[in-house]
């Protein structure tokens, strides 16, 4: 996910702001844990991240 975010020239803070606007109150440290695979996430959270990044499931491969 980090690569997808960086390809879109977004910081962790940028993506967190966008996710918060979409209804998920996630902090930059928590989001960074997700990118480093130190925190699991639900399908809904993953879907929100992908939607925010304008990416698809296949982009994760």
| Domains in the chain: boundaries | 2-60
Please give the model's pTM, rounded to 2 decimal places: 0.89
pLDDT band at 61 (very low <50, low <70, confident <90, very high): confident
The one-character DSSP state at 8 is T
d(CA 17, CA 22): 9
d(CA 4, CA 55): 8
d(CA 26, CA 28): 7
pLDDT, tens digit, 9 for 90 and up, residues 4-20:
999 999 999 999 999 99
Q: Which CATH class is domain 2-60?
A: mainly alpha
């Amino acid at each position: 996910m980090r690569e997808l975010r960086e390809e879109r020239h977004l910081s962790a803070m940028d993506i967190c702001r966008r996710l918060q606007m979409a209804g998920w109150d996630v902090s930059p440290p928590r989001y960074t844990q997700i990118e480093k695979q130190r925190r699991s996430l639900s399908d809904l959270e993953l879907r929100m991240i992908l939607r925010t990044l304008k990416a698809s499931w296949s982009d994760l491969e």
